[in-house]
Structure 1
Amino acid sequence: MTEGLVSYLPLILATFLLAGLVKGVVGLGLPTISVGLLGLVMPPMQAAALLLVPSMVTNIWQLADGRNPWPMLRRLWPMLLGIVLGTLLLGGWLRGRDLAQASQWLGMALVLYAGLGLLAVRFHVRPAQEAWLAPLIGAATGALTALTGVFVIPAVPYLQAIGLEKDELVQALGLSFSVSTLALAASLGQRGELLQPALLGLSLLALVPALLGMAGGQWLRRRISAHLFKRCFFIGLLLLGAELSLRGVL
């Protein structure tokens, strides 16, 4: 498995550099871009295995802003628990199964996410609704994580809907992505062939361009329109998702 990946090493490094750059500018995008682009040349869950180390480290970087994470953790724990359970339960059920349409599912998830972003769709969740909605959102996010390796839908729209301030939203996204990454690692561990030492070594190597890209993105964020950049990001995701969705259909 990993021998074939070596031929894709330049693409892997370039992909994580771009994904880190986007995350540095808009605060998200690492899993969607990395798994989406690499999903063009390899199975999505193999791309997700390469994502593990860069995702975990960049999310910790995003969280390390000096604010206490416990208040947010107390608020979000039902959703986070749902993410873990959804990822592990569906991941366990998928073990040993051949997901021939995994790329199409990934493409549809990217199209949905990009469409919501381009249309500026905003939901509103009242505090009284969080108690029952948060676990369902978490479970759905976990299921899509186990299926596609991307953990933005529906967690990101939900977090945008519960009335968080800008800094709180960044912290909440960091927590959600960190828990999703750990749950994804555990799910891939259930499918032992997807979590080999050599593959983790490539994931560790991908951390370098991801960190360089994130640092560059944070520098760039102070000099460009984040709104315009995010719009370009969603258009790119829409095109990428459409390509993956239609692959094998046309």
Structure 2
Amino acid sequence: MDTAATGSQHPPMDHFTLALIAFVFLAAGAVKGVSGMGLPTFSMALLGLFMPTATAATLMLIPSLLTNIAQCVGPHGRTLARRLWPMWLMLALATVWSPLPDLGSAGSGARATLGVVLVAYGLWGLARPALPSPGRLALPAGGVAGLFSGLLTAATGVFVMPMVPYLQSLRLEKDVLIQALGLSFLVATLALAARLGPLAVLSGAAVPLTGHAIALVAAFAGLWIGATLRNRLPLPVFQRALYSVFLALGSLMLARAF
């Protein structure tokens, strides 16, 4: 089927939808500015309520990519590459070549899977279990974490589980963890873009260039707001509220999927 013809079948987005996109990415950027993560998860959770998950993922790609590049800057890149390369490698391979149903699958499966991931992530964040340090098994454990994170990235467009718990189990210093999250999310975003391929063109046709531009500008505005608020907000309270939101949104997506 001709891509251009497919794209022409989509009506222009109305002003209300564009305003929703601006709000979602402003909020998602602020979440990332405060905590160093959460833009893809937050944006996918909200966008998935009113558009197909494949379209939401396509809209999320550029803001996620560019904000992660900004977060990657730091002095620890070489050290992190030595410690995390198995996770990054398996994350990329599993995302691009996952044999499981992905974002392009028909029906409510992608939305249901995303709901399950959000509920699991919300419960994990609220419980905050003390994970043991992997010690000498850090490299193979990272490969396993990357494998499952890649499978879930291909299926949902969200790349937090189990990658984030694994990174936190390494007991990294705060600045090192922020850079590790940025680099890991960058790998996941690039792999997801490669996985979507032609699907990104077809799904992206549902969103005019104005929508992509609004998402990008709003994400960076939110990132600046979040960075400004980072030292003014009690982080534990903010995180509990954020994980509660993920739990609620995941539950809502599951209810709508079935």
Same fold by TM-score, threshold 0.5 exceeded? yes
Residue 163 of structure 1 aligns to a residue in which SS? coil
CA distance in 1, matches of 2:191, 2:141: 20
Aligned residue type for 2:69: I
Give the TM-score normalised by structure 2. 0.89
State the SS of the aligned residue for 2:98: helix
Bigger shift: residues 97-106 or 142-151: 97-106
2:250 matched residue in structure 1: 241
Distance 1:80 1:200 in 2: 31
Percent identity, aligned pairs only? 42
Structure 2 partner of 1:124: 132
Question: In the TM superposition, what are the counterparts of 1:1-250 in structure 2 within 5 Å?
Answer: 3=11, 5-6=13-14, 8-64=17-73, 66-90=74-98, 94=102, 97-191=105-199, 192-196=201-205, 202-249=211-258
CA 1:193–1:111 in 2, change beyond 3 Å: closer, same or farther? same
TM-score (norm 1): 0.91
Deviation at 1:237, TM superposition (A): 1.0
Q: 1:112 to 1:97 in 2, by over 3 A?
A: closer
Contact kept? 1:35, 1:48, Cα under 8 Å: yes
Check conservation: 1:91, 1:146, Cα contact below 8 A.
Answer: no
How far does the alpha carbon of each residue in 1:34-80 deviate from its partner, in whole angstroms, 9 at most, with x for none?
A: 0000000111121011111110111111122x414121112111100
Distance across 2 between alignment mates of 1:188 and 1:200: 18
The structural deviation recorded for 1:133 is 1.6
Kindly tell me the number of residue pairs found equivalent between the two proteins.
Answer: 248
Q: Please give the alpha-carbon distance, in whole angstroms, between the structure 2 residues aligned to 1:50 and 1:24.
A: 19
Cα distance in 1 for residues equivalent to 2:174 and 2:45: 27
Gaps of 5+ in 2: 1-6
- In structure 2, relative to structure 1, the CA distance for the partners of 1:205 and 1:79 (3 Å cut) is same
From the superposition, tell whether residues 92 and 187 of structure 1 become closer, same or farther in structure 2 (CA, over 3 Å). Answer: farther
Note closer, same or farther for the CA distance 1:4–1:119 as it changes in structure 2 (3 Å cut): farther
Q: CA deviation at 1:92?
A: 8.5
> What CA distance in whole angstroms lies between the structure 2 residues aligned with 1:24 and 1:178?
16
CA distance in 2, matches of 1:124, 1:190: 41
Q: 1:207 to 1:131 in 2, by over 3 A?
A: same
Alpha-carbon deviation of 1:125? Answer: 3.0
**Judging changes above 3 Å, is the alpha-carbon distance between structure 1 residues 96 and 182 closer, same or farther for their aligned structure 2 residues?**
closer
Distance 1:182 1:197, change over 3 A: farther
Q: RMSD between aligned alpha carbons?
A: 2.1
- List gaps (5 residues or longer) in structure 1: none
- Identify if the C-alpha distance between structure 1 residues 125 and 99 changes in structure 2 by more than 3 Å, giving closer, same or farther: farther
